[in-house]
Amino acid sequence: MTAATPRGGEPATAAAAEAEERGRAVAGRRELTYAVLLCVAGAGLALWASTRTWAVELTARPTPLPPVRDVRTGTDLLPWLPALALVGLAGGGAVLATRGRARRLLGGLLAGLGAAVTAGGGYGLFAAFDGEVSRQWPALCLVGGLLATAGGLLTALRSRRWPAMGARYERPARDGGAPVARDSDGRVTGRRTTEAWDALDRGEDPTVS
């Protein structure tokens, strides 16, 4: 004899599949949030640290004149460093607006920018600049670059599972200045809203095409 299939098996399977899909969506949104935060925080930290004073050089002058104090920031020493950090900062926000292959390519670009910022911070950390050198700011640039690199790699490797900006973020379609009626799936249904009200005024049923 064949064992009877318990009633409600298909709904239970569908519910389990829906719960699993919902769990994947939640995990994808969480990873997306982490990636954006890593990119933005890392690039922002590097951008800020590059504007701090990395070295102070004193040039002696004849007595009784005080020495000339020459302050040099990370931007003065490495002009390309804040530029890359600024691009990385904008790219971190762009992760939210992209999808698919474009998002993965953007992740690779952000990883490369983060690696370049990391290299700049490492150079400032060990370079022999003239005068009194502050090593904490290059170190923060290095940390920011590492964070941005991690966010870019996460985007490049995992963004296939992440949600994209859906239709609910887009402006509704317009026809002659009047909003188009749509169902729960976003499909156009029936007449325009203004036409529906006109039909009601005439005593007609607006749901009948």
SS (H, E, C) 99-128: CHHHHHHHHHHHHHHHHHHHHHHHHHHHCC
Domain boundaries, the chain: 18-167, 171-201
Helix or strand or coil: residue 180? coil
Residue 122 is predicted with a pLDDT of 94
pTM: 0.67
- pLDDT attached to residue 22: 76
Confidence of residue 174 (pLDDT cuts 50, 70, 90): very low
Joined together, the tokens standing for residue 195 give 């036409």
Over residues 7-34, mean pLDDT: 75
Position 91, amino acid:
G
At residue 89, does pLDDT exceed 60? yes
